[in-house]
Amino acid sequence: MLQKLVIKNYAIIDHLTIEPDAHLNTVTGETGAGKSIILGALSLILGERADTSVLINTNEKSVVEGYFDVSNNKVFQNALTAAELDNDDQCIIRREISTAGKSRAFVNDTPVTLTLLNKLTSLLVDLHQQFGHLALEDDHFQMEALDAIGKTSVMAENYRKLYYKHKSIKQKLADNRERQSQWKKESDYKQYLLDELLQAAFKEEEIENADRQLKQMSHSERIISVLQAGRAVLEDGEQPMVNELKRISQQLQWITDIMPELKTLQERITSVWAELKDIAGELEHEEGKVTLDPAVMAQLQERIDVGYKLLKKHGATTTAELLELQHRLEEELKATLDINDAIERLAKEEGILFKELSAEAEQLSAMRKKAAPKFIKKINELLVLVGMPNARFDLQIETTTPTIHGVDAVQFMLDANKSGQFQPLQKAASGGEMSRIMLCIKSLTAEALHMPTLIFDEVDTGISGEAARQVGGLLRELSQYHQVICITHQPQVAARGTRHFYVYKEADKNERLSTRIKMLQNDERILAIARMIGGEQPSEAAISNAKELVN
């Protein structure tokens, strides 16, 4: 709700503060005192475009600031979070017009665009001067009103949850079918690539090993020559190194009894002999591994050729990369099979949900159609009370394909003068009639619907007497559930307020007129209402009447 509105340097307002209560706040004052100017200033923080002509004092900027208690407005708090704005129990919305005429908007001291400001404040303030027609053109509002009267709001909410669930499954199904279609175009080629790799059947590092082995076989004569020469020096020469070392070791062993200090040297030579003998054996073993078999060489060359062809084709450099590609292709083709299973499962789930959704929609539609006559009857009864005895309200419910609201399209209709010709409400009603019709609708749905602060600008225009009294009563009932601010010229309406504000003009020391506002105490209020009844100098009868109205 609106806790405080502060207006500085706006038109003929130099500084003004309003602090409404949580119920019915009535605003009165002479014509031209500035009530419309206050509404104009309020419109700025609701996202209306600024008019630089409001800057009377061009040496100071114009500021309009609204303080809102949003502790129980979860929808608004979620909207703040979504917009990445500071979120607290109180929200401060400010609009500034600089001395150069530039306008800026702030939400909790963070600059925002007018589009975002308008979106956010629509969750805080329903300024009936602007909102009435928009609401009646909004299918969602009309449906909510019917659900509130028919007590089908919970059923409608359950339907919406099921609708979103069905929509989500339907979207997943569409996404999977799109992927399936795309994969089908690619799967044949991927299968061809995979078959080629499977046919090659490479093992880990096979291409690298084959390349290395082929190079060895190509140089086998040189390799064998080197290995044989090395082994000959160690074991097969005229004086083999292994034999000589063995002989030296044996001779040293014979004299270690005489020179014990030679024992260590003898052991070292024995160790070298054993190592060289082992090396000679390994040279012989490696020599035996070297082959000159042309058939083996041809087989190796064939594997290398296949490998290099595939490496070049896939932009790879190693056998490991080819094997990784093979694994990836296998997984992707397996996923094609998996997505077929997923589509089958999702299609089945979507079909079941659609049946549930259709059944829920039909039940909801039946309840709405059952509630419609009651809604029509109550509105028509209220229209008589608020001074529209010749008007007839009706509503049309047409069946549509399932939407977020169900299978119903609701249209409010009005015959303003018993002509027998019903038209959409926003086309058939005048501005004043529209305000009173909206008041009737909102008074019926107040308890069931969450609504922001409601502001009615002269909703009682063109009525008086009993009709005005009934309008006051409806406003008072509405204010039990929502904060209401009503600008009025009717004493019957003004008297029903829980807080009464009076707008007037006052001259400063420079004889410049400025709009002021004050909250009236009980005696001041009675006098103000008496003046609304009997003029500037009210009679005793007018004062007595005012007391009766207030009491």
**C-alpha Rg value of the chain to the nearest Å:** 47
Let me know if 52 is exposed, middle or buried by CB neighbors in 10 A (0-12, 13-18, 19+). middle
How far is residue 482's CA from residue 79's CA, in Å, rounded to a whole number? 20
Let me know if 471 is exposed, middle or buried by CB neighbors in 10 A (0-12, 13-18, 19+). buried
**Which residue from 163, 155, 147 is spatially nearest to 402, judged by alpha carbons?**
163
Q: CA angle 238-240-242, nearest 5°?
A: 165
Contacts for 509 with CB less than 8 Å, ≥ 6 apart: none
Helix 294-314 with 206-218: angle, nearest 10 deg: 140
Q: What is the pLDDT of residues 29-61, one digit of tens each?
A: 988 888 888 988 998 998 888 877 777 777 888
pTM beyond 0.75: no
102 backbone φψ class: left, alpha, beta (φ>0; ψ -120 to 50): beta
Residue 128 has a pLDDT of 59
Quote the percentage of the chain above a pLDDT of 70. 96
pLDDT classification of 527: cutoffs 50, 70, 90 = very high
Residue 137 has a pLDDT of 55
For tokens 């014509």, name the residue: 31
Q: Which residue has the higher pLDDT, 347 or 457?
A: 347
Average pLDDT (515-528) is 92
The residues facing 413 across adjacent strands are 394, 424
Count the alpha carbons within 13 Å of 254 in the hemisphere toward its beta carbon: 5
* Number of other CB atoms surrounding residue 289 within 10 Å: 10
Q: Answer whether 459's CB lies under 8 Å from 436's CB.
A: yes
**Residue 452 phi/psi, 5° resolution?**
-75, -170
Residue 200 has a pLDDT of 87
Q: Are strands 453-457 and 484-487 parallel, antiparallel or unpaired?
A: parallel
Q: Answer whether 51's CB lies under 8 Å from 11's CB.
A: no
Q: Which residue has the higher pLDDT, 172 or 99?
A: 172
pLDDT classification of 24: cutoffs 50, 70, 90 = very high
Residue 130 has a pLDDT of 40
The residues facing 4 across adjacent strands are 67
Sign, CA dihedral 133-137-139-140, equals: negative
Helix/strand number for the chain, H first, E second: 18, 15
Q: Which residue has the higher pLDDT, 544 or 50?
A: 544
pLDDT classification of 135: cutoffs 50, 70, 90 = low
Quote the percentage of the chain above a pLDDT of 90. 34
pLDDT classification of 497: cutoffs 50, 70, 90 = very high
SS (H, E, C) 196-222: HHHHHCCCCCHHHHHHHHHHHHHCHHH
Show the tokens assigned to 298.
């041809």
Average pLDDT (489-494) is 92
90 backbone φψ class: left, alpha, beta (φ>0; ψ -120 to 50): beta
Average pLDDT (494-505) is 93
Show the tokens assigned to 234.
């160690």
Average pLDDT (199-207) is 88
Element (H, E) at 317: none
pLDDT classification of 260: cutoffs 50, 70, 90 = confident
Q: Which of 111-115, 185-189, 346-350, 470-474 has the lowest mean pLDDT?
A: 185-189
Predicted confidence (pLDDT) at residue 132 exceeds the cutoff of 60: no
How far is residue 542's CA from residue 536's CA, in Å, rounded to a whole number? 11
Average pLDDT (143-148) is 88
Alpha carbon 324 to chain centroid distance?
39
Q: What is the pLDDT of residues 314-328, one digit of tens each?
A: 898 998 999 998 898
**Residue 164 phi/psi, 5° resolution?**
-65, -35
**Looking at the chain, how many residues does it have?**
551
Q: What is the pLDDT of residues 369-396, one digit of tens each?
A: 999 999 999 999 999 988 888 999 999 9
Question: What are the start-end ranges of the H helices in 386-430?
Answer: 425-428
Let me know if 21 is exposed, middle or buried by CB neighbors in 10 A (0-12, 13-18, 19+). middle
Let me know if 378 is exposed, middle or buried by CB neighbors in 10 A (0-12, 13-18, 19+). middle
| Amino acid (one-letter) located at 162 | L
